Amino acid sequence: MAGDQTIRDDERWMQRCLELAQQAAAADEVPVGALVVLDGVVVGEGRNRVEAQRSPLAHAEMEALQQALARVGARLPGAVLYSTLEPCFLCAGAILHTRVARVVFGARDPKFGAVRSLATVLEDPRLNHRCQVAEGVGAEASASLLRTFFRGKRG
């Protein structure tokens, strides 16, 4: 069934996002990983690099979107963005501007999340583009990575 295949694909791609998030943690970055998949092919991937780039804009989703745009062009219709963490307002805006069709994320972000936690930006009917949203894929693994990272920071 198509629904079963979508679930399997979502889980497979989220596994790669979790690997990227682990790479971020190993580099002392907040552990978030993201992919852009178009027609079953990864066209962009990213992990948080805020500290390394000394930029609050260096989010995993932004890196994945930039790679995808460099490969595909100015828009990404039909693409799916996967992220271990609910996208923030910055990333949600970029997702909308690039015309991503669907977003799949793991853990909610109660302090910055713009998809479910603080707002529903990607599905706002006032906007000229909206995305399908699926949440909770790999949520426990994503949340566990984040808890472990921040527990280590607090000492």
Q: Which residues are catalytic?
A: 61
Nearest to 138 by CA among 87, 102, 84, 59: 84
CB of 30 within 8 A of CB of 146? yes
Residue 74's SS3 state is coil
The bridge status of strand 41-47 relative to strand 33-38 is antiparallel
Q: Which residue is associated with the tokens 């990333």? A: 91
Q: How far apart are CA 65 and CA 79, in angstroms?
A: 10
Contact 37, 43 (CB under 8 A): yes
Length of the chain: 155
